[in-house]
Every structure is written in structure tokens, then in C-alpha cells.
Structure 1
Amino acid sequence: MEDCAATPVRRPADPSSPSPTPSPLSLRQWRPAAQRNLRNQWSRLLAAKTRWLAATANGRSHAAALVNANLSHGYMPGMDLGVLKDMPRIRDRASAKLAHKEVQCREMLLSAYKEMVCAVSDLVKASHAMRCFSKVSSGSPLVRFTDCQDDLNDLGDGGGAPVYRWVSMLEFENLAKELVEMFVSELQLKRLIVLNLLSIKSKGGADPSLEWSDELYDGELYKFQSIGLGSGDSFPLPENWRVDVLQAWQPGHAPSHEVLQVYLTSWLANVNIKTSRIDEIFELVGEEMQIKLR
């Protein structure tokens, strides 16, 4: 299929309605191209899921290290150093090392979060690129296909016919949408946790308090907007969070040890991701395509 990533996909207002039933010849020509594209997009979904899992595991490790360094730094002034207490400036040097550790952990946590955003971006893009459209070309006897819609009457779905054996293009898209929605919801939750962890102040530090609308790294807002998660010049809070998050938000407030543990536990739990359902989706799609998606 031709690459036309620079051209926006133009689809009718209701892609859930199948396009007109194509002729048997057109369907025979369309199906191999559609099958190749679906294999490619589901392989991209699998790769992006793997990328997400690696990034979230790294992020959890860096978040735990940040919390431990911050707590140790806070306890250092009153900590019993035993036989080390009389060593010259031992407490100051230990505090400086812990402060440096906090900076490093913040940077690595942010890097892991950025990788998670990229993984979700890949998931969204793959889920939106499953349809296969006929390429309008004058004077050429060859039938070509693309992921860009030239003909508004062609929805790229083969008229609702099965792409392989039983599953239609719309059904493939709905499975991908279900999968993507889990990761999008979890990314929003992870962003809230990262925002709070990055806002933890070192003892005596002057770290600025972060707001939900702030970019956590350069280009984050653009990335969110490119996958439909941002609007205007800010990050909209999910509707079901709006009241609770805004009421609970306390800029500059140092969370307790118990709250920090809740953040780490929530991160590890991936509360919005149903692993068994994701495995079921990839298994179902793999069986339909007669390939292994693992």
C-alpha cells in the first residue's frame, strides 16, 4: 500500500455504516491488500503494547527510587548515624547525594513517561489506519490501494464483508478501539501520578509546583493533540475526574508517606488495563488472521 501519512484521512461522518457492496471482482482485489494492512496494523499494536509495558515497568522503578530518595532526604537531619555521626560534614554530604539522586530519578521517570506517551500515540495511530481504500488513478490498468480515502463513497471496509474468514473491518476496529481506550485511560492516570511525583519538593529546594495544564516535557501537548487527547493550549481533565482532582489538588503540598505508597501501588496495578481482556483480543485477532500475536 502507498504511504500517504502527510495527507489527512477523509472519512464520511458515519463510518459505522458499511459502504455499498462491492462487486465480486472488486472484493477479490481489495481483500489481499486489506489483509496485509490489517496484519501490519495489529503488529504495530502489539509492538506498541510491548513498548508500553517496558516503559511503565521502568517508570515504576524510577518512581520508587524517587520516593525512597525523597523520604531519606527528609529524614536525614534527624537520622541517627551511629558511629558515622562524628565524621566531618557527613550529614551534609549524604543530603547532597540524596538531592542529586532525586534529580536523576525525576529525569528518568519523565523519560519513561515520555516513552509511554509515544507508545499510546503508536496505538492510536495504528487503530485509525486499518481501513484499505482503492486508489483512484487515471490511465493506469493497475488497481492500487492506500490508507487515504480518495472516493467518499468508499469507506475502505469492503462493504462490511469479512476481511479474512468471519470478522469485518468494523469489528477489527472496535476491538482495537477497546484496547486503545484502556491504555489512554491508564496514560491519563499515570500522568496524574507523574505530575504529583515531579512536584515533590526536595528539602530546602525551590522546585516549582506543577499544574495539570503544564507541559511535563517539551512537545507533550502537541503529542496529545495529535492523538486527540488535547485541545487548544491545555490538557483537558477527564470529565469524571474534574471535580475530585481540582478539589484535592494542593500545589506545593508534600504528600505523606502513605500517599506516596498509594501512588506507587496504583502505578503497579495498571488499574485501567484488563490484561486478560487484552490477551483475549490479540488471541482472537491472531486466530482470525492465522498468525501469532504475542
Structure 2
Amino acid sequence: MEGETGEKNITVLIFDGYVELHKYRYLYFMIFSILYFIIICCNSTIVYLIWKHPNLHEPMYIFIAALLLNSVLFSTNIYPKLVVDSLSEKQITSYQACLVQYFMFYSFVDSEFLLLAAMAYDRYVSICKPLQYPTIMRKTTVIVLLGFAWLFPACQFLGLALMCANQKLCSFTLKVIFCNNSFFKLFCATSRAISAFGVFTMFSDVVFPVIFIIYTYIRILKICYQSSGEVRKKAAQTCLPHLLLIICYFLLFTYDLVIARLESDFSDTVRLIMNLQLVLYNPLFNPILYGLKMKEIYKHLQRLFCQHKSN
């Protein structure tokens, strides 16, 4: 539908993915507010510790800080709108705002996969080529990897968003609670160019990085299992949880890209749960897996909290 503001026509989209919002309005509000607060506090605290302490200014910790900062930006793109919508009479957005949220959503999602690939490469070099590590993982290398992880997906999805901006809409209701690629169903006609570009971005930003991550961790585990029992234990504790989270997130992302675009008989509740998982797992679990599990970061966290308690 189209509403008119001044001299401009604004296309308005309706979010219809909530389940009994009128009944559980304040529960939605509390859940979204608490989750956003926890995500911001946990991720920002570890980023602050890495920034503050010089002994954490190493490539591995810099990549962790970048990953957690990415989670903060990703969540800020989603949760404030969810909080506002939970208390609003109408859950609506303009098509232009939807495109912006879509662009930021997938830019940060794909950046996460590329950052994880950069972290896997850093660990691969440090374990498999320890003597060459200082030469390979220089400051310039880290900057290039970070810049590529953020700018490459952003440029791709900016192009996709601009291509979608000129599409004619024949429907204005989204069966979700935020703008993802479900809005492709609103188009009157399927664009082959958009579909082909979307497949290219999925392979370049998600599939290939995941294959690379799995390959590097297999090489790491292979070398570690040829070492002492203590080294094997440490490798298993460090790499296996990361792999499990990556695989789980990859499956959810595949659901979002493939199944969500097909006509299915999923109930509204199942669809809502699946959409929430897309914006819940990594922002919450990243600080645990990449923060609390890292010995040096955990030491600084203990000192920080002990200091506050003593004061």
C-alpha cells in the first residue's frame, strides 16, 4: 500500500510475522529489550578490554574484537525496531527503510563469515606455520583482512539494494518481523539479475568462507592430534565449539536464503522462532565462545569484575 507524505508517495510495508502481539505485547517488549541490553553489554565489554590492554593487541584478539563489534552493529540494526514495533499499534516500515535494514542485515551477516574465515586463517598460520607467523600476520595484513571482510559484502549488498529499489511491488505484507530477503516475494516479477547476483554473494561471502574455515580447522586438528594430549585437549576445546556454531549458523542462514523464499506450510510460530534464531545465536554466543573461552580475555574480565566488587 502507499501512503502520501507531503508531495512524495511512500510505499508502506506491514510486518505480519508476530504471533498474538496484541496479547503478548509487553512480553515481546521485555524479551527484545533484555536481549538487546545483554548483547550490547557483553560484546562491548570484551571489545573495550581488547582495546584497553596492550597485551591483547595481537591479530587473534583484534579479529575477536572486530567480530564482537560486528555483532553490536548487526543487533543495533534489528533490535531497536523490534522494541518499537512491539509497543506500536501498527508494525509497519517504508520500503526504503526496509531496503536499508536488508542491506545492513546481510552486510553484517556476511561480514561475520568473512571475519570467521580471517580468524581461522590466523589460527592456521600460528599453529601450522609458527615460524612464518610474524612475517605473514603483519599489521598491514590484519588491516587488509578487516577491510575486505566489511567492505566486500557492503558493496555487494548495496548493489543488490539498489537493484531492488526499482522493482515494482504487487504485495505489501511481510510474514516476518524484520526485513530479510522475504521481501523478494513482494515483487510482481522475479528478476533473474537479482537472483543471479544473490547466488553469487551467497557463494562468495558464505559458502566459500565456510569451506575454508572447515578446511583450516581440519588441518589444525590434524596437527594438534599428532601432538601431546594437552595440546589435543586445548585444540578440541578451542576449535570444535567454533565449528559447531559456524555449522549451526550456516544452516540457519541457508534456511533464510532458500526455504524462506519458497511457499511453505510453516506455522506462524515456527516461522517466528526461526527468524528470531537468525538474530539471536551469534550476538549472544560470540562473547562466550570468543571471549570467555580465551584465557587472556577471561583474566581481564575477572580483574574488571573483582575491581568493581571491591569498589
Give the TM-score category using the shorter length.
Answer: 0.3 to 0.5
Structure number, greater radius of gyration: 1
What's the TM-score once normalised by structure 2's chain length?
0.36
Q: TM-score, normalised by structure 1?
A: 0.38
Which structure has more helix as a fraction of its residues?
2
